[in-house]
Structure formats: structure tokens, C-alpha cells
Structure 1
Amino acid sequence: MTTTTTELSLELTRTLPHPPERVFDAWLDPAMLARFMTPGPGMTVPEAETDPREGGRFRILMRAPEAGDLPHAGTYLTIDRPRRLVFTWESPYSVEGSTVTLDLAEVEGGTELRLTHVKFPSEESRANHEGGWSAILERLGETL
């Protein structure tokens, strides 16, 4: 079976009542990642590691009640605090070249965060990731 990399992408925008630096730093802090990188009900993150420099790697182990352990990893491509963070996205459900871009802008009352994830193997995968990222952004707001 061949997986074809597509140009499917998704974009989500949220306004969080926190300064951009605080929102940005949460994505590079393993303790914070363990608290908000839970894309589904009952999920936990028993392990999170980061090497927050361009070219550095991160690793997040998500644990799902039904599916078990779901390892995620990536490489930081751009770290422009507190405006932009770009990293590759490697998971059991991703394809080569999949990247996530976080663009942060200060707005009245906090930060507008735009998450753009590109390259999915299928429409179904994109829809699943959209649900997962939506839950993660919700948890990020609650965690901060």
C-alpha cells in the first residue's frame, strides 16, 4: 500500500487571554506540553521531551485509553519567540513533510494563535487532526 502525500491542510485560530510570550513558551516546555497535548478524552502524556532550538527535536508520548501509546516527535524548524514556531510533525498518522506552524499575534486582551498543519494522507486524517488540534488548543487555554 502506498501513502500519497497530499497538499491537504487545516488552519485553526484561537484567542487566548494570555501574553504571546506565555503562549509561545508553553509549546517548548515539556511540563506544559504534558498538560495540554491531549487531543482526546481520557488521554494523557506520560512523557514529553524538548530540545528548544532550531534543529532540535521534541518527543511526546500520548496515551489513549483505547489505542494505547501514540508516539509523536518532530524537529523545530523555526523558533521566533514570541511570533512564530514551526516544527515537523511525525506520528503514526502523519506523512513525510507534515509540518505545523504556530503564528502568534498580540491582540487586545491576549494572543491570537493561528495553527496551520499541512500534509495529510487523506481527508479523514485531516478531519481527525482538526478535532485533535481543536481539543489541544482548548486545553492550552485552560492550562495557561
Structure 2
Amino acid sequence: MTDLSLNVSRTIKAPIERVYNAWLDPAMLARFMLPGEGMSVPEADTDPRVGGRFSIIMAAGEDKLPHGGEYKELDPHTRIVFTWESPFSADGSTVTINLKEVDAGTHVELTHVTFVNEESRDNHEAGWGAILDKLNEVVL
């Protein structure tokens, strides 16, 4: 396990409140937590409070990939921090989402820390990029 990290950012063409709430709404998560082509989210559940948990089942064909975590910080319309637990994550893996209102909508900066190796980090970087792109499509 290493201290590798990644940063992905996008400007989402939607109000900051809508972007923030999308991360906490299971119906919205099912629409944008899609890190690759042909994937779906048949199950998503959230308990959006500090100490609450979320779970997301990503499906790639017949393969079901469980993801989950615990909300560590929820600063309305500004910041979300959660642990990231998946078959591909390392212990102590954490995601921080910082939101900032900008003229074009909402600037989202996502930071993910702690990966088992560079390949895992690079795969997650591509996945988070695809997820943010999809968020921009569905949050309008």
C-alpha cells in the first residue's frame, strides 16, 4: 500500500446545491456512478449523515462490483469526505469532493488517496473522470 493519490476536476453545468445533493441521493448515484462503458448501478443506498454509510453495486455484464464507505464529513454545498471500500481499494482509501460555485455552474475537485499501486491509482483516475463526466450529463 502506498501514499499515492489522484485529483480529478470538472466544471459541472448545474447549481452547487444540485451537484452536492446528487452525491447523497441513491437514485442520482445510480445514474452517474458509471466508471466505464456498458456499466450500470442496479443498487444504491445512502445514509447521508456523518457516520452514515453508502453502498453501490456496480455491474459490468454479469459481474457485480460492490462499493461502499462511510461519510466522514458533510459540509452542505461545499465538501463531502467518505471512505472508499471496493474489491480494488486499499485500507484507508478516502475520497474528498470539494465544490465551488463558478460562473459556469459548479467546480468539482475530487481527491482520492491511498492506493495499492500506480496501476490501481491510474484505473481509478480514469473511472472518476468518467463518473464526473456522467454527473455533468445527468444533474441538469
Interval containing the TM-score (normalised by the shorter chain): over 0.9
Which residue number corresponds to residue 7 of structure 1?
3
Code of the aligned partner of 1:15? T
Which residue number corresponds to residue 17 of structure 1?
13
Q: Aligned equivalents of 2:42 and 2:83: distance in 1?
A: 21
Q: Are 1:26 and 2:22 matched, yes or no? A: yes
Q: Match for 1:97 among 86, 92, 100? A: 92
Q: Are 1:135 and 2:135 matched, yes or no? A: no
After TM superposition, give the deviation of residue 65 of structure 1 in Å.
2.0
Provide, for residues 53-79 of structure 1, a one-character-per-residue CA deviation record: whole Å limited to 9, x for no partner: 00000000000127x000000000000
Runs of 4+ in 1 over 3 A off after TM superposition: none
Code of the aligned partner of 2:128? W
Code of the aligned partner of 2:127? G
Q: Are 1:53 and 2:64 matched, yes or no? A: no
Gaps of 5+ in 1: none
Relative to its length, the structure with more strand (as a share) is 2
Q: Are 1:109 and 2:104 matched, yes or no? A: yes
TM-score by length of 1: 0.95
Provide, for residues 81-123 of structure 1, a one-character-per-residue CA deviation record: whole Å limited to 9, x for no partner: 1000000000000011000000000011211000000000000
- Partner-residue secondary structure (3-state), 1:8: strand
After TM superposition, give the deviation of residue 32 of structure 1 in Å.
0.2
Q: Aligned equivalents of 1:109 and 1:128: distance in 2?
A: 28
- Partner-residue secondary structure (3-state), 2:50: coil
Code of the aligned partner of 1:27? W
Q: Match for 1:86 among 81, 84, 90? A: 81
Q: CA RMSD in A?
A: 0.7
Which residue number corresponds to residue 70 of structure 1?
65
TM-score by length of 2: 0.98
After TM superposition, give the deviation of residue 17 of structure 1 in Å.
1.1
